[in-house]
Amino acid sequence: MFDIFDLECIVRILISAICGSFIGIERKVRLKEAGTRTHLVVAFGSALFMIVSKYGFEDMIVRAADNPAISFDPTRIASTIVTGIGFLGAGTIFVRRNVINGLTTAAGLWSTAAVGMAIGAGQYIIGISAAVILTFLQWFLHSSKLIARASTTLMIFKLAPCEKPFDKLEKLLNQYGIIVKSVNFEKNSNNECKIECVVKMPAKLSHIELSDELCANDFILGVEF
């Protein structure tokens, strides 16, 4: 029988979904693997699991009170959410040439699950506040120049035939404050070089502007990040 409490549970799920999508929008703007829909579904599912965990076993609680032989712990459903989201988050993390990407997105999914659990448990203020704070912190830490730091990334260069191509490239990169950590060198039949570099570059550098400036050099035929 539908009652006012069922309506409240539906509202909890909807609020969780809205908070999850709010967090996901920030990730989508950054072109991350898990965006609005993924975060929405994570928060939605976490809220639903929490509601089932908290209120779905009331009949069993009554039976357990009358029969000591019955022993169960419905809170296990809530505890397994943390583990389950860990597998989903692992899918957003990938490693290429010793460069790790996706850690922040994975942590964001994990925290989004916590937001959904809080709202599913009826802690609206905590859940909504956590969603707002998490979104703000991810945006601020990514955008703030006060705490900007060097980042490790992979750059792939296609170079025209020339003498000591890597030395010329490294010297050019150093002018922009880019430090080469490791390199993979290939040369084709036309003596054109393909160089893959794992580099540490200042956070203030724009990939687009840097690509334009690097390609202005005659010996650089192409750049890929």
Q: pLDDT tens digit string along 56-105?
A: 777 666 666 677 766 667 677 777 887 777 777 777 766 665 556 677 77
Helix, strand, coil share (%) of the chain residues, nearest 5: 55, 15, 25
pTM for the full predicted model: 0.61
Helices assigned H by DSSP within 91-195: 103-120, 124-143, 165-174
Which residues contact residue 84 at a Cβ distance below 8 angstroms, ignoring those fewer than 6 apart? none
Yes or no: say if 16 and 127 are a contact pair by the CB < 8 Å rule: yes
pLDDT of amino acid 65 = 67
pLDDT 10s digits, 181-209: 878 878 776 777 888 888 887 767 777 77
Whats the size of the chain, residue-wise?
225
The secondary structure of residue 201, as a DSSP letter, is E
Q: Is residue 16 very low, low, confident or very high in pLDDT (cuts 50, 70, 90)?
A: very high
First to last CA, the chain: 57
Counting DSSP H helices and E strands in the chain, the numbers are: 8, 6
What is the Cα–Cα distance from 160 to 168, expressed in whole angstroms?
Answer: 12
| Sign of the alpha-carbon torsion through 131, 134, 137, 140 | negative
At residue 151, the 3 state secondary structure works out as strand
Neighbours of 216 (CB within 10 A): 8
pLDDT tens digit string along 122-160? 888 888 998 888 888 877 766 655 555 567 778 888 888
Q: How far apart are CA 3 and CA 151, in angstroms?
A: 53
Q: Cα 121–127–133 angle (5° rounding)?
A: 165
